[in-house]
Structure 1
């Protein structure tokens, strides 16, 4: 595989999409849709111009960086004051909706794939639990949608992948060890450790980074052009520092962004500029690699049950737990359905499949898990991309007076 060919294709696609992106947006055609389709066209499934191994190092690194930047920038643009006033909604989504999604997802997987081991079905449910706000960008960026709704969707998307990740690693460890450690409850401490240390490292990096950045701006030590780069360097620093200190890097990146974005207005503005340009580029490249490398390898493993599970994962298995989790809040039914529908599967699931494939290898049965995750992401790219702006417009018409 010639990586230079892939880089050249990405450059040409960015040029092509950049010239007509505004026109495509009028028809609710998103960047992830375009890049995924073009990835498929250039893949062995289409013109067979080049092939990419899914466990290639550069693929993992690009997707990993994209997820870190998405989490960091999404968190930085959250309104922490609003979040303090309406923390109940994201808390319910994370601590009621998320476990229910995993449980129901596992139960349905066992029913549809009875020949597969239970641990594989748990893994399948976990891989499809994280949500990706980038696929429904119109929802979280449209000012017509109430801030409480946008903030809740953003917080859920930012934290659920970090919470699920250590559990995924635990299940992978159980699979690769032949379940010899199934009775060892040390994994509970491992999950807590990943979350707590990730939050602490992210908070410290965010606090010190914001202090230094504000001082540098105050004393006019920093060039204007570097104000875009420093917050992003802090996001990557938070990620890798947390990984070294037994924490979860994705959670660290989220909390670093949350602190910086709510303590430095100038940093917040520059992060927003970066997210709309360089950050968007990393996201689109990830979806191009998804179409180029991921989808072609799943075609021979697609079955009716795989398609049924993918459809259920995007609808009932996601929406029912969320609607249940939000019972008792002040949200009306349309608001609960709106939040429930916008649980797209994207970059986090892609990255986690990469990590799992690297660790699990060719263990029999993983092909079913891999195919189901890939088809679900593919469906989500189009279903949520096409519905984001129309649904946001429709919802905002009925909730004009909400803050």
Structure 2
């Protein structure tokens, strides 16, 4: 028992050390190759994984991996929430809501319809596949957007969408699994569960953010003022765990907590400049470490045996997702929002940006662990989607934003001029 515990502890510590060393090396190389660091981290994970160097093989602690993936995703969501401004989010809330719910549903249906014909599988399994890859990934988008000076309106819309659609995507997956196992599917119960998770996520996140923001403020309630950086980490843990225990979405709670903490001034809560600076430095350091961990671990989990069997069909699904499904859902969800006043350039950018990462990978792993039929096909599509969207879309995000004139330092260009440049 004691020997097993020591071995497990050593395995987790080794995992942390390998991830940090690999991440620092690849972080340096990302600048040399002019690629987003998350792309390099994913490639690095593949290289040190069981199919190549086997530095992080199948014997590594699954507890350590799960801890890094869960806390890392929650913290990056929290950090993403902090950069969202409520006044901007209010102006695009209809678009965000439609993309997070209607967009996920449409993506599931269209992708599932095509997958059933490409893989020759029953509709319920095809829909399950579509639901798994329907949500976008804040753990990918937040780091990419941090490295470019994208306009706030479009940046915060896409980040908010990715945070909110995780809950919708997860509920769809759970509902379809329940239908497969029980032979019944209830739209009413699925919608009720979705609403329940969202409501509790929002409530827990808001309360956690408000209480802890007061606790580190300069006012009389600031009893934890000197521990402000530690409270940032604690906020993520409390909001995630409490929401999950109440049946809510832990990821949404973490995002809402960050949203509240990032908009403290709206609540007349103020923190000294020195404390804010220290908090920012701690968050940036931790966010970098967790970003390394998430994508390196994802890289180590790529199963090339499964990919070899289904890579052609999986690639067809990914291309459909990128070039047909995403543009269609963006048009249907953004055009009705007259208040947002979306321009052609902004819509084109949203059509392209929909990277996939941590949440679909976690759902895919859960499906494989449950030994649901066709889980190998689902895993193949998920990993192909992660690889292609990171390598193709994340790598070109800055160039496309520059070309469309959506960077803060770009001069305004006419819509027709942008179209001529694209064509």
TM-score by length of 1: 0.87
Q: Distance in 2 between matches of 1:23 and 1:304?
A: 30
Tell me the equivalent position of 2:196. 193
Tell me the equivalent position of 2:383. 374
Deviations 1:262-294 (A, max 9, x none): 115648765543442212211221211111123
Match for 1:356 among 360, 364, 367? 367
Match for 1:325 among 333, 355, 369? 333
The 5 A counterparts of 1:223-262 are: 223=226, 226-262=227-263
1:80 aligns with 2:83: no
Tell me the equivalent position of 1:37. 43
Match for 2:70 among 64, 70, 73? 64
SS in 1 for 2:208: helix
How much does 1:242 deviate?
A: 1.0
How much does 1:345 deviate?
A: 0.2
Unpaired runs of at least 5, structure 2 = 414-423
Match for 1:209 among 197, 203, 212? 212
Relative to structure 1, the CA distance from residue 28 to residue 376 in structure 2 (aligned partners, 3 Å threshold; closer, same or farther) is same
Match for 2:161 among 141, 156, 160? 156
Relative to structure 1, the CA distance from residue 397 to residue 187 in structure 2 (aligned partners, 3 Å threshold; closer, same or farther) is closer
SS in 1 for 2:50: coil
Relative to structure 1, the CA distance from residue 183 to residue 37 in structure 2 (aligned partners, 3 Å threshold; closer, same or farther) is closer
1:345 aligns with 2:350: no
Match for 1:122 among 119, 123, 127? 127
Deviations 1:345-385 (A, max 9, x none): 01121222233333x2x233111111111111111221123
Relative to structure 1, the CA distance from residue 68 to residue 58 in structure 2 (aligned partners, 3 Å threshold; closer, same or farther) is same
> Would you say how many aligned residue pairs link Structure 1 and Structure 2?
395
The 5 A counterparts of 1:158-177 are: 158-177=163-182
Q: Distance in 2 between matches of 1:19 and 1:299?
A: 27
Q: Distance in 1 between matches of 2:144 and 2:302?
A: 27
Q: Distance in 2 between matches of 1:48 and 1:202?
A: 39
Moved more, 95-104 or 235-244: 95-104
Contact between 2:208 and 2:257, CA under 8 Å: does it hold in 1? yes
Relative to structure 1, the CA distance from residue 211 to residue 394 in structure 2 (aligned partners, 3 Å threshold; closer, same or farther) is same
The 5 A counterparts of 1:101-140 are: 101-114=107-120, 116-137=121-142, 140=145
Contact between 1:319 and 1:341, CA under 8 Å: does it hold in 2? yes
Relative to structure 1, the CA distance from residue 54 to residue 319 in structure 2 (aligned partners, 3 Å threshold; closer, same or farther) is farther
The 5 A counterparts of 1:381-396 are: 381-396=390-405
Q: Distance in 2 between matches of 1:397 and 1:30?
A: 18
Q: Distance in 1 between matches of 2:291 and 2:147?
A: 19
Deviations 1:238-260 (A, max 9, x none): 11111111211111111111112
TM-score by length of 2: 0.83
How much does 1:101 deviate?
A: 1.8
- Larger RCO, structure (CA 8 Å, separation 6 or more): 1
How much does 1:338 deviate?
A: 0.3
Q: CA RMSD in A?
A: 2.9
Q: Distance in 2 between matches of 1:389 and 1:176?
A: 44
Q: Distance in 2 between matches of 1:30 and 1:274?
A: 22
Deviations 1:274-321 (A, max 9, x none): 442212211221211111123345334324212211222233222221
Deviations 1:309-342 (A, max 9, x none): 1222233222221123222442222211101211
How much does 1:9 deviate?
A: 6.1
Contact between 2:19 and 2:292, CA under 8 Å: does it hold in 1? no
Contact between 1:194 and 1:247, CA under 8 Å: does it hold in 2? yes
